[in-house]
Amino acid sequence: MTKYVFTTGGVVSSVGKGVVCACLGMLLEARGLKIAIMKFDPYINVDPGTMNPFEHGEVFVTDDGAETDLDLGHYQRFTNAVLSRKSNATTGGIYNAVIQKERRGEYLGKTVQVIPHITDEIKSRIRMLTAESEKPIDVAIIEIGGTVGDIEGQPFLEALRQFRLDVGPPNCCFIHVTLVPFIEASHELKTKPTQHSVRALRDIGIQPNIIVCRTGPHVMGEDQRKKVAMFCDVTDDAIINAEDISPLYAIPLNFKKQHLDDTVLRLLNIEAPESDLREWIDMVDRLKSTTQEIRIAAVGKYVNHDDAYKSINEAFVHAGIANNCKVHLQWVDSEQFEKGIEPADMLKEFDGVLVGPGFGTRGIEGKIKAVRYARENKVPYFGICLGMQMAVIELARNCLGLERAHSTEIDPQTPDPVICLLTEQRGIKDMGGTMRLGAYRCDLTPGTKAHKAYGEDTISERHRHRYEFNNAYLDVMTEKAGMVVSGKHPKGDHDLVEIMELRDHPWFCASQFHPEFKSTPLRPQPLFREFVRAALHFRNQRG
């Protein structure tokens, strides 16, 4: 029978629930258990696909094409859990499903209410998480977004209270992640906010079994741990100190020292062999002991919000581990290149240039100028999604003389639409969940940089886009502009260009897909790994 771990947050949002869930999942997998993991988000958007990355952070995409919360990226990087559209649900998605059932008459004319209809739908999503799994799920980990006390989170917490009774208390464990602030004036950590947060949770009918205390750079003393345990009615060994630790991937080792996995297994009455964390420990040691450094300029427009490109940031950490190299990723605002600043003045100190994904017209011309700088100066270049499209436009303009070449997304009247709307996107009006999403096959061309990076003939990568390379320009781009098509998706009437390279360039590679979504610290993504290797070589050559 599947056991359940529910994780809630207290005092403030963004307290680290996603990382706690991911680390716990990693520790349980290391003990031979099969896990499933999901997140409930209390916002009313059906999914985060239409939300501004500057406000919400990146949209993480699963193999089956779900646009999900960025916390699923943490789950992906720490665990081997299969992530799908079942792994993320929102208030908007829950209410939408209930309303659709009501419209179809499935409630037989009854008054539709939060209890039981909304809470029943929430509980059904929890059950769906473990249904139809190839192997039985030992532990399902469910994160509840937001903070205890938020009005929008109340139906989820009520559903958890009911679910515990449905499956029996011995089969559920509640973890509460809370902030323990340090007050400078008194030079001490204060546990009172945690006590109030737990009291609010208990008022709902949920008693946490484990409390994870986020303490910043500080560590709680034994007296403070006992105080939290006493006032919150948990055992001393169930108080976990979550001080800030760098690197991120050392956090599960800290939790292991405090026996988080042992406590969860005891509460759920699960027996499991002891874990072997040698591979993970070795990875963390290599990350801490890197002896080389490179600087990568990431040219984009959401440069003031780290979470907007969270998976890209982490993929570079993974690539650095593979190359015994620390990657300093500096986000560069592309709009400045449209206001008189020359790319060379900003980019000459960097060892590689990345143009990442994005939407809209702002900063586009600056990105194209950054591509030109990398191409003409033989600087390693990596383009992702929009970054590939910008590379194609730059080549068409400056190597073929098609001065007004563009994407029809940006300039619908361009005489040379080298990037155009996907055929299946024509006529679509709704914005949410309608792009080309999820994993697609890509056949690699032997002898290319992409083929050498992957070491395979066929790969699968995840997409999130509406526009594609226009095959009407394929011959002229490959024959006269030096473009090499190194990856294609076979598609009946025409193949879609998935990866392009440059013939006469040390390392210039761009993909229509998002390779960052599948990178992990133990399995660095091949294109990121090789881009960092090329940037390191470039740095060593120029001294």
The position carrying tokens 């030079």 is: 187
For β-strands 436-444 and 483-489, DSSP reports them as: antiparallel
Enter the tokens of residue 271.
């027996």
How is 59-92 classified by DSSP, letter by letter?
PEE-TT--EE-THHHHHHHH--PPP-GGGEEEHH
Enter the tokens of residue 267.
């509460």
C-beta separation of 535 from 296 below 8 A: yes
Enter the tokens of residue 171.
């089969």
Eight-state DSSP code of residue 378: T
CA distances from 525 to 316, 319, 529, 531 (A): 9, 7, 6, 10
Query: How far is 385 from 330, CA to CA, in rounded Å?
Result: 19
Tell me which of 173, 394, 514, 530 is the catalytic residue.
Answer: 514
User: Which of 118, 137, 117, 135 minimizes the C-alpha distance to 127?
Assistant: 137
Eight-state DSSP code of residue 111: P
**Amino acid identity at 495:** D
Query: SS3 sequence, 280-315?
Result: HHHHHHHHHCCCEEEEEEEEECCCCCHHHHHHHHHH
Tell me which of 385, 420, 442, 509 is the catalytic residue.
Answer: 385
Query: How far is 285 from 321, CA to CA, in rounded Å?
Result: 10
Known catalytic residue at 516:
yes
Known catalytic residue at 21:
no
Known catalytic residue at 325:
no
Query: How far is 48 from 69, CA to CA, in rounded Å?
Result: 6
What's CA 296's distance to the chain center, in Å? 20
> 3-state DSSP call for residue 228?
helix
Q: What is the dihedral of CA 93, 97, 102, 105, to 10 degrees?
A: 170
> 3-state DSSP call for residue 422?
coil
Query: How far is 380 from 361, CA to CA, in rounded Å?
Result: 25
Q: What region, left, alpha or beta, does residue 81 occupy, with left being phi > 0 and alpha being psi -120 to 50 degrees?
A: beta
> 3-state DSSP call for residue 6?
strand
Tell me which of 67, 314, 516, 530 is the catalytic residue.
Answer: 516
Q: What region, left, alpha or beta, does residue 124 occupy, with left being phi > 0 and alpha being psi -120 to 50 degrees?
A: alpha
First to last CA, the chain: 60
| Those residues with Cβ within 8 angstroms of residue 330's Cβ, 6 or more apart along the chain or in another chain | 295, 296, 297, 298, 350
The β-bridge partners of 383 are: 355, 510
- Active-site positions? 385, 514, 516
